[in-house]
Amino acid sequence: MVLIGVGIVIIGFLLRLNSLLVVTVAGIVTGLVAGESPYQILVEFGKAFTVNRYMAIFIATLPVIGLLERNGLREQAEVLVSKMRAATTGRLLTLYLFIREVAAALGLSAIGGQPQMVRPLVAPMAEGAAEAKYGDLPDDVRQTIRAHSAAVDNIGLFFGEDIFIAVGAILLMNGFFQQNHISANPILMALWGIPTAISVFLIHSTRLYLLDRALKRRLGNHVDVSTISMREGMPK
């Protein structure tokens, strides 16, 4: 019954309800089912709010990123990539996928992230690569590129960190096995994540290659030369 919170999260996401509300309700229900008092549940929420490392995003990261974006960070990222003739959206995202996965495997999961890297740098650079080749992008294509940019970060982190022995998933599995008197070696569990991470990289790189082909099929005959010339003439 303690896992009822997982079901609440799944149902809430399927119904596309407010994510913060769904997670909050799931946490409260889980606490009540586990026999915790309302006061203790509130204490745990407050502790997670203040101690959780992701609060640094709201306290420091987001204001800094906001100032950089206000002063043209996104625009400069697009201009920089537009001058790289060999750069394509798929190639750029494949490179970021590799960097993100390798960094996570080494325990450097803080390198990257949706607010720190994807929104201000990766997504604009991916859009800039497409604009350099095809000119102005339709809104649906722009949203598709942004979605792929976000997915690359999530996939690289998710499968890369499973190779790092001190990641929470490895420690959780090792603790579960020990509680059930099952012999397990966390080092071997981490090593078994390597084939999966390599397979995921190859599979998703193929998807990004197909993304480039899809962009070329749709936009290849509609290159806006004037837009490219204007971008190349923009000041650094």
Sequential pLDDT tens for the chain (236 residues): 767 888 888 998 888 888 778 888 888 988 888 888 888 888 887 776 665 555 555 555 666 666 666 766 667 766 777 677 778 999 999 999 999 999 988 888 878 888 778 888 888 889 888 888 888 889 999 999 999 999 999 999 989 988 887 777 777 777 878 888 888 887 888 888 899 999 999 999 999 999 999 999 988 865 544 444 444 444 44
The pLDDT of residue 60 is 57
The pLDDT of residue 226 is 40
Nearest CA among 186, 166, 187, 188 for reference residue 178: 186
**C-beta of residue 107 within 8 angstroms of C-beta of residue 164:** yes
Nearest CA among 121, 22, 107 for reference residue 77: 121
Tokens of 72: 């043209």
**C-beta of residue 130 within 8 angstroms of C-beta of residue 89:** yes
The pLDDT of residue 205 is 96
For the whole model, what pTM was predicted?
A: 0.66
The pLDDT of residue 87 is 83
Let me know how long the chain is: 236
Q: What is the C-alpha to C-alpha distance for residues 107 and 102, in angstroms, rounded to an integer?
A: 9
Q: What is the C-alpha to C-alpha distance for residues 132 and 154, in angstroms, rounded to an integer?
A: 26
The pLDDT of residue 230 is 40
